């Protein structure tokens, strides 16, 4: 299949050898024509080496090796740039820890070209619309996530209900219009900043419900310091909405 008709699935990794083999297997079960790009931050557990070995056997698999932990946002950006440079049709980003189940891939990709309606530029696998939800989260995390989403929607004038979710499919043609050197987020606020910048380019958004399942193996990389930084960046971006600067 030509790359101009192909979906590239981008996965950022750091020490995900426990999860990645099963994830890739499931991706190809639900989206056999997709390609997979792993952006690995020099995982000491051998994640990058495993991807290289698979790529040698399967031309659908690719790996970008980085020197160390450079931030989730920059890893997603690397995938975006790769998709633009190689001329893919869609870029679909998902987490490596199995919290984003591949069974939703067909619905998310199909929603890019809805029947009887104009095509959209971004589809979000959403926890916060009817039919969506989360599993195995403590109440504190549920409340914190809901508050961050409300905060971002209000300050950045965003329409999607799930502004922080990372399970997303982008139209690569619109990604090619982004000025990546203007991004200020390197971590988790990259999700909201991307929505904000795509909206300013006239992007059209849609959401598909998903059930988000917390990781079973490994550990989460987010911490309170990163969460506070994300809130500060969202506030900083909101100033442009009000001042135009």
User: For residue 107, what is the domain's CATH number?
Assistant: 3.90.550.10
pLDDT in tens, 187-242: 888 999 999 999 999 999 999 999 998 765 545 555 567 777 888 889 889 888 77
Q: What is the pLDDT of residues 152-171, one digit of tens each?
A: 999 999 999 999 999 999 99
Domains in the chain, number: 1
Domain ranges, residue 38: 3-243
The string of DSSP codes covering the chain is: --GGG-EEEEEEESS-TTTHHHHHHHHHHH-TT-EEEEEE---TTSHHHHHHHHHTT-TTEEEEE-SS---HHHHHHHHHHHHHHHT-SEEEE--SSSSS-GGGHHHHHHTTS-TTS---SEEEEESSSTT-EEES--HHHHHHHHHHHHHHHHHHT---S-SS---EEEEHHHHTT--GGG----STTHHHHHHHHHHHTT--EEEEE-EEE--SSS-----HHHHHHHHHHHHHHHHHHHH--
Please give the average per-residue pLDDT across 5-26, as a whole number: 97
- pTM of the entire predicted model: 0.92
When comparing pLDDT for 223 and 49, which is higher? 49
> Is the predicted pLDDT of residue 109 greater than 60, yes or no?
yes
Whole-number average pLDDT of the chain:
92
Looking up tokens 């020490």 gives: 15
């Amino acid at each position: 299949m030509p790359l101009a008709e192909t979906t590239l699935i981008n996965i950022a990794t750091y020490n995900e050898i426990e999860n990645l083999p099963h994830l890739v297997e499931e991706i190809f079960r639900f989206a056999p024509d997709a390609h997979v790009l792993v952006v690995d931050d020099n995982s000491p557990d051998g994640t990058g080496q495993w991807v290289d070995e698979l790529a040698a056997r399967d031309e659908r698999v690719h790996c970008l090796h980085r020197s160390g932990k450079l931030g989730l946002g920059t890893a997603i950006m690397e995938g975006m740039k790769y998709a633009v440079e190689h001329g893919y049709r869609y870029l679909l980003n998902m987490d490596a820890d199995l919290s984003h189940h591949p069974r939703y891939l067909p619905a998310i990709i199909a929603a890019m070209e809805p029947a009887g309606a104009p095509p959209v530029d971004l589809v979000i696998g959403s926890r916060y619309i009817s039919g969506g939800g989360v599993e195995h989260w403590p109440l504190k995390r549920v409340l914190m996530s809901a508050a961050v989403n409300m905060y971002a929607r209000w300050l950045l004038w965003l329409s999607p209900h799930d502004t922080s979710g990372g399970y997303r499919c982008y139209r690569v043609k619109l990604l090619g219009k982004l000025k990546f050197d203007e991004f200020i987020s390197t971590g988790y606020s990259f999700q909201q900043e991307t929505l904000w910048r795509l909206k300013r380019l006239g992007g059209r958004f849609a959401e598909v419900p998903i059930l988000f399942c917390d990781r079973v193996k490994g550990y989460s990389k987010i911490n309170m310091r990163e969460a506070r930084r994300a809130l500060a960046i969202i506030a900083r971006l909101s100033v442009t909405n009000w001042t135009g600067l």
